[in-house]
Structure 1
């Protein structure tokens, strides 16, 4: 049991860096983990010896190690949905000239696992491989919309983050939106996460009729909205083709 507890604490320590500054010290990590400094130092020493953590000798603080980068690259290489999706993502970029992202669900979070940026000098972009709530973006809400209702309720029972004055303010608002996504098969969203930004997202189904991922085209509203109908049709055509390739026949 002690070994399992140490492994769990080591995992928690690594995950702290996902939403924290680049470097953290023993004291701050101790507070976040609610462990003694001695226990945290022991964890750091073990993780450092395996390359998961690096120590900055100048600041005496710690940051993530390169072994994690190697593992992350390996995950992406083994993630068939990314390789499968890239030709479609690039085609969408060529037809819309806006940011295209591929989003997947990982547990209770959403992650952008692939993207291609707009060629426009003024453009909207996102950070790849960062976790965010399943209700926070159009691509994420499309994933949440097709999850069982008890899972949706569990996600929406937490304190909801708001990002702009136009963000959804309540779980009930989001539930209504999820119902609309299921009825239409897509979502168009403006100003919810970033003011002046519009996204068009739709789900990709696999052979078991489950949502494998979602694709979204995102860009400045003043450029996206005039070609909204065209972008929507391109997105729907793309996910329809991808779903058929994955064996979806509904």
Structure 2
């Protein structure tokens, strides 16, 4: 019987599985074993083991003596560092977010759109003793929190509908889980160009965010001012809405210049 050559579809499927395995390490435990990965992805242990061995051979994953499971390896760390260095938005956003942090006394953040989720890419922490900080690199859904909602409101209609067609889990008791209510709020956010969240993603946290569009005109992420909810009074929220809008415009202008240079 002649040997069957791998088809384009089979190669794509294999690449997808490898990517899925790596992505489990973004939000999961530091160490993951064959069984846990197999259950999470619905793959056989034999398939998972082959993928893990391939990733270890390329130093994308690694093992430690006396520890059960696999962790991200030096090559994965190098890739992540390279991606962050090359992400022009971080370069453009840094001086603006630093100044905004000093001006407001609150933490300022940059989030990036990754698939149908977002991740924090950068933060400048409030100098105050009581403050809000975020987990850089952690993924969050788009329906909860000001940064997520302002990104979701600015997505192309088909992508926005795909997100809204899915489940909207409650992250706190204030998370909007009604599709109709969320659609109504997103329409308002799209009109105003600013989103506000009071305890929707994290209890006790307040934030105001604006969308960040790249030189290609597409939504790439968001910037935010965030801190303890009790400090986000109506008057300050109105002030922050203006500040965050102006900051986003400044970053976009600088980002466009960076891309052309």
TM-score by length of 1: 0.91
Q: 2:121 aligns with which of 113, 124, 130?
A: 113
How far apart, in 1, do the equivalents of 2:140 and 2:198 lie?
A: 18
Q: Structure 1, residues 45-70: CA drift from partner, whole Å, max 9, x if none?
A: 11111111111331331111121111
How far apart, in 1, do the equivalents of 2:244 and 2:230 lie?
A: 19
Look up the match of 1:86: 94
How far apart, in 2, do the equivalents of 1:72 and 1:126 lie?
A: 18
Change (3 A) 1:123 1:49: same
Look up the match of 2:145: 137
How far apart, in 1, do the equivalents of 2:255 and 2:206 lie?
A: 28
Alignment partner of 1:102 is 2:102 = no
Look up the match of 1:155: 163
How far apart, in 2, do the equivalents of 1:40 and 1:205 lie?
A: 38
Q: 2:251 aligns with which of 232, 239, 242?
A: 242
1:140-219 counterparts in 2 under 5 A?
140-219=148-227
How far apart, in 1, do the equivalents of 2:215 and 2:148 lie?
A: 21
How far apart, in 2, do the equivalents of 1:47 and 1:243 lie?
A: 37
Could you list the runs of 5+ residues in structure 1 that have no partner in the other structure? none
Q: CA deviation at 1:19?
A: 3.0
How far apart, in 1, do the equivalents of 2:213 and 2:159 lie?
A: 19
How far apart, in 2, do the equivalents of 1:185 and 1:3 lie?
A: 42
Change (3 A) 1:158 1:237: same
Q: Is the 8 A contact 1:187 1:201 kept in 2?
A: yes
1:48-59 counterparts in 2 under 5 A?
48-59=56-67
Change (3 A) 1:28 1:80: same
Q: 1:228 aligns with which of 237, 244, 248?
A: 237
Q: Structure 1, residues 156-193: CA drift from partner, whole Å, max 9, x if none?
A: 11111111111102111111111011121211211111
Alignment partner of 1:38 is 2:56 = no
Look up the match of 2:3: none
Could you list the runs of 5+ residues in structure 2 that have no partner in the other structure? 1-6
1:1-80 counterparts in 2 under 5 A?
1=7, 2-80=10-88
Report the 3-state secondary structure (helix = DSSP H, G, I; strand = E; otherwise coil) of the residue aligned with 2:108: strand
Change (3 A) 1:48 1:210: closer
Q: CA deviation at 1:247?
A: 5.7
Q: Is the 8 A contact 1:139 1:214 kept in 2?
A: yes
Q: Structure 1, residues 89-129: CA drift from partner, whole Å, max 9, x if none?
A: 10101101111111121221112111111111211111011
| Equivalent pairs, count | 248
